[in-house]
């Protein structure tokens, strides 16, 4: 468990120039959540006295706006006026941190780090550095060790490394657990005598860990976990790893994913055991699916969708903020937005809940055991009663509710003449 005197610092002060999108790298959508949100959530799983985020002025406004909307008010934002290295970023943050305690330092673009790894680092008495053995160390700082003892000697950045050092495959993962009092002193003595003319946090970290007999924790099979995002090629690799992790969690929980390669499930989706997800289905963040359901192929379940046990959503069906009751079915080519659908209701092919009037969204309510004929348009707000029926191609205008047990047909929909004798 993390130390009670723990403080957490996340560095995200870069200008995102290498992603070339013109937008903050931190806000790239990674499986339904901004990239930065993943690392803030993992760090937030640890018990800490404070949480600090370093940002640059270029993207400060959009990132802070997202944080406020997403509920990250506990994180204090510190601005690094110029991108002058990780050591400078830490120096900017130290003014708002206490003089004593322990500091866990993370990079904001390493979203696959796991809580267990960070918790283990934060238990090391003399501080810790996270490293990893990788097949291709290009771009990373290399770990140099004393030949006989294996003790940490130095971290050499790519631009400062010669050909021999660049062959080293143990790299710095950019995660540090350091004593705050020692860090204050070490940062004050950093200089810019290096290839990039920057203040290197690595220099301070090595000095602190050497003096405190700190621990170097090497992940020998953790290349995916420490993967950073410098450009969109890196980001695509991180997305693939995150998708795979999410799918594995659902498979191990008893969810039948017919073709994981073509199935997209975002973070925060819950799916009950025994449910089958067919190929080319997309389940967005926050979707809830019960036990024994069937989704797809080619289904798109957007945020706010909830399927009760045994519900079925079939090919080319899109749902948004829709709740389907026990055993409800929508098997073909339908859009169900802002809808509540009762138990064992049957939604015919081509059904549309017309939820948007150009200014506001409105709700459609479909009762238990209702039968919605193919091609029906339900113009919200509207209710279709328990056990009621709409004929094929019917258009039910807004406010023209269908009573329980009633059958309506036509455009606009009216009670079926035979029903009235």
332 is catalytic: yes
* Marked catalytic residue, from 7, 300, 332, 416: 332
The answer to whether the Cα torsion of 56, 230, 141, 124 is positive or negative is positive
Separation of alpha carbons 82 and 183, rounded Å:
21
Triad 181, 183, 184: Cα angle to 5°:
70
The first and second tokens of residue 194, run together, are 């290096």
Cβ atoms of residues 53 and 74 within 8 Å: no
Name, in order, each residue with C-beta under 8 angstroms of 94's C-beta and a sequence gap of 6 or more: 183, 184, 187
As a residue count, the chain comes to 421
Q: Helix-strand-coil percent breakdown of the chain, rounded to 5?
A: 25, 30, 45
Report how far apart, in Å, the C-alpha atoms of 238 and of each of 15, 38, 150, 233, 243 are. Answer: 20, 12, 31, 9, 8
345 burial (CB, 10 Å; 0-12 / 13-18 / 19+) is buried
Helices (H), 150-271: 180-188, 201-212, 232-252
Separation of alpha carbons 26 and 230, rounded Å:
11
The first and second tokens of residue 348, run together, are 């015919």
Cβ atoms of residues 329 and 317 within 8 Å: no
Q: Which residues are catalytic?
A: 332
């Amino acid at each position: 468990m993390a130390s009670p005197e723990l403080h957490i610092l996340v560095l995200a002060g870069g200008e995102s120039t290498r992603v070339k999108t013109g937008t903050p790298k931190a806000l790239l959508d990674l499986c339904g959540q901004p990239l930065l949100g993943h690392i803030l959530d993992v760090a937030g799983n640890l018990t800490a006295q404070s949480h600090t985020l370093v940002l640059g002025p270029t993207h400060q406004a959009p990132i802070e706006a997202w944080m406020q909307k997403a509920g990250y008010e506990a994180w204090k934002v510190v601005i690094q006026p110029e991108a002058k290295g990780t050591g400078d970023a830490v120096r900017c943050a130290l003014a708002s941190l206490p003089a004593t305690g322990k500091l866990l330092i993370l990079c904001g673009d390493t979203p696959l780090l796991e809580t267990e790894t960070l918790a283990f680092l934060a238990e090391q008495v003399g501080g810790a550095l996270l490293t990893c053995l990788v097949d291709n160390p290009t771009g990373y700082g290399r770990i140099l060790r004393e030949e006989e003892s294996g003790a940490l000697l130095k971290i050499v950045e790519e631009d400062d490394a010669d050909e021999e050092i660049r062959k080293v495959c143990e790299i710095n993962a950019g995660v540090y657990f350091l004593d705050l009092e020692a860090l204050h002193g070490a940062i004050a003595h950093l200089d810019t005598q290096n290839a990039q003319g920057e203040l290197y946090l690595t220099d301070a970290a090595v000095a602190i860990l050497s003096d405190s007999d700190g621990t170097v924790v090497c992940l020998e099979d953790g290349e995916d976990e420490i993967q950073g995002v410098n450009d969109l090629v890196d980001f695509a690799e991180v997305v693939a790893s995150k998708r795979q992790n999410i799918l594995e969690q659902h498979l191990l929980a008893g969810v039948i994913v017919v073709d994981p390669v073509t199935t997209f499930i975002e973070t925060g989706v819950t799916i009950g055991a025994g449910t089958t997800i067919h190929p080319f289905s997309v389940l967005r963040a926050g979707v809830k699916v019960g036990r024994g359901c069937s989704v797809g192929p080619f289904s798109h379940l957007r945020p706010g969708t909830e399927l009760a046990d045994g519900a079925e959503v079939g090919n080319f069906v899109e749902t948004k903020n829709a709740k389907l009751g026990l055993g409800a079915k929508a098997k073909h080519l339908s859009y169900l937005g802002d809808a509540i659908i009762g138990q064992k209701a049957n939604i015919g092919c081509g059904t549309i809940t017309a939820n948007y009037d150009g200014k506001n969204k409105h709700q459609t309510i479909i009762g238990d055991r209702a039968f919605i004929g193919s091609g029906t348009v339900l113009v919200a707000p509207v209710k279709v009663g328990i056990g009621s029926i709409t004929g094929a191609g019917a258009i039910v205008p807004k406010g023209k509710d269908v009573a329980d047990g009633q059958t309506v047909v036509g455009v606009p929909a009216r009670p079926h003449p035979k029903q009235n004798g």
